[in-house]
Structure 1
Amino acid sequence: MSDRRNPLPFEPKGTKGERSEKAQAAPAARQEAIPRPIANRMARRVAVFTGLPSLAGMGVFVLSYVLVTRGIADIPPGVTLTGSGALFLLGLAGLSFGVLTTSWEPQPGSLLGLENLRPNLQRMRQSIRAQKEKD
């Protein structure tokens, strides 16, 4: 019997011990597109601006359930759905807001970060333009 088999479509070419020339030529330290401290700051902002509205959206369901089951208030399902949906949409907007208002300076910036919105939008547009020109 033959020891060779046909490779699967998703298997990398070459043997397990081999590394491609491109992988060997890559420098040991990669240059990051977004520096680690800024990425951490973005993650915190996204967690706050997305997490709080999303938790509030879930809280609307719980509060509505408690109020209706205990007979405190008669809340139509449409009101519950609209309220929670609006809060979930706010959380979705918070995702972009958290990223676009993060300071790229060594200082973290203000609480809302509105002063960083315009420069970050310009960076994003420049990056998109550069990618289009590259392709």
Structure 2
Amino acid sequence: MGNQRRGLPFEPDRGKAGSTPSAGNAKATQAIPKSVANRMARRVAVFTGLPTLAGMGVFVGSYVLITRDIADIAPGTTLAASGFCFLLGLGGLSYGVLSASWEANDGSLLGLENLRTNLDRMRSSIRAQKQNRSN
């Protein structure tokens, strides 16, 4: 009794006694296919990496402009511009995951056609988890 515990969401099945998913739960415990995970990772790297680099570039650019007396930039402006870039990168993290195609084909460059489908899947998954907890 002390050794049996409920698995965490997305925790892999380690083959322990009592951890075999039931037939109704088998679909919910499937892992993300490797090709889809790689596609998500590429999208996250691009949609998060570029804004993050831009956010760091704002600091460097402001420093160069101020030290060479090219422009007088207020520190608040630098902070707001870099903060906007970092927030854009945070949004890119979610977008990179939600815009990836789960089909065999890669989809389009931006993945806009997959965004609504994946959002609907996520919402239905959240609803199903809430129903399972209340039952």
Q: TM-score, normalised by structure 1?
A: 0.77
Moved over 4 A (4+): 24-27
Residue number in structure 1 paired with 2:31:
33
Q: Give, in whole Å, the separation in 2 of the partners of 1:41 and 1:32.
A: 18
| Aligned with residue 57 of structure 1, among 55, 58, 62 | 55
Residue number in structure 2 paired with 1:23:
16
Please tell me whether residue 105 in structure 1 is matched to residue 76 in structure 2.
Answer: no
Residue number in structure 2 paired with 1:17:
none
Q: How does 1:36-115 map to 2 (within 5 A)?
A: 36-115=34-113
Q: TM-score, normalised by structure 2?
A: 0.77
Q: Give, in whole Å, the separation in 1 of the partners of 2:18 and 2:106.
A: 36
Give 1:78 shift: 1.2
- Point out where structure 1 has 5 or more consecutive residues left out of the alignment: 1-11, 14-21
Residue number in structure 1 paired with 2:131:
133
In percent, how many aligned pairs have the same letter? 68
Residue number in structure 1 paired with 2:10:
none
Find the residue that maps to 2:16 and give its secondary structure. helix
Query: Aligned pairs, how many?
Result: 113
Q: Give, in whole Å, the separation in 1 of the partners of 2:65 and 2:30.
A: 50
Find the residue that maps to 2:31 and give its secondary structure. coil
- Point out where structure 2 has 5 or more consecutive residues left out of the alignment: 4-14, 21-28
Find the residue that maps to 1:68 and give its secondary structure. helix
Give 1:25 shift: 5.9
- Corresponding letter in the other structure for 1:83: A
- Return the index of the structure with the highest Cα Rg: 1
Root mean square deviation, CA, Å: 1.8
Give 1:56 shift: 0.3
